[in-house]
């Protein structure tokens, strides 16, 4: 389960950014084609966050649907598979979203 390593990275990045303060909430953008399962990330987070500044943090996972734009006709459309042709028949498409896996937001406890 490679989500464990990914979750460790996320927790470590957030911990560094938190600068010793407790983290209240973390929001992730997880694309449909990012190759990770949101449920697995949520499961790993419970384990990995234990004993860190993120222990009591809420994890919000924002699922990002796949979208692409056709370089031929300029149309943009939702994609359900990674290699999808445009309605005009062109396969020269530019991926707009769906592959991201990033920390969108984090909420840190105010300094006392």
Q: Give CA–CA dist 10/52, Å, rounded.
A: 12
Which window, 10-18, 21-29, 42-50, 83-91, contacts Zn ion (CB under 5 A)? 83-91
72 binding Zn ion? (CB under 5 A) = yes
Tell me which H or E stretch contains 61: strand 58-64
Which window, 5-13, 22-30, 47-55, 70-78, contacts Zn ion (CB under 5 A)? 70-78
Q: Give CA–CA dist 107/63, Å, rounded.
A: 19
Work out how close the CB of 76 gets to Zn ion at its nearest, in angstroms, rounded to a whole number.
9
68 binding Zn ion? (CB under 5 A) = no
Q: Which long-range contacts (CB under 8 A, 24 or more apart) does 77-84 make?
A: 82/33
Q: Map the footprint of Zn ion across residues 89-108, applying CB under 5 A.
A: 90
Which of residues 73, 78, 91, 109 is near Zn ion by CB under 5 A?
73
| SS3 label, residue 80 | coil
Residues at the interface with Zn ion (CB under 5 A)? 70, 72-73, 75, 86, 88, 90
């Amino acid at each position: 389960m490679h989500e464990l390593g990914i979750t460790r990275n996320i927790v470590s990045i957030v911990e560094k950014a938190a600068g010793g303060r407790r983290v209240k909430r973390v929001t992730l953008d997880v694309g449909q084609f990012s190759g990770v399962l949101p449920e697995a990330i949520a499961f790993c987070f419970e384990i990995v966050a234990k004993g860190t500044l993120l222990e009591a943090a809420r994890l919000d996972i924002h699922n990002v649907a796949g979208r692409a734009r056709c370089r031929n006709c300029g149309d943009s459309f939702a994609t359900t598979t990674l290699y999808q042709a445009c309605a005009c028949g062109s396969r020269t498409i530019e991926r707009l979203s769906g592959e991201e896996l990033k920390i969108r937001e984090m909420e840190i406890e105010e300094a006392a």
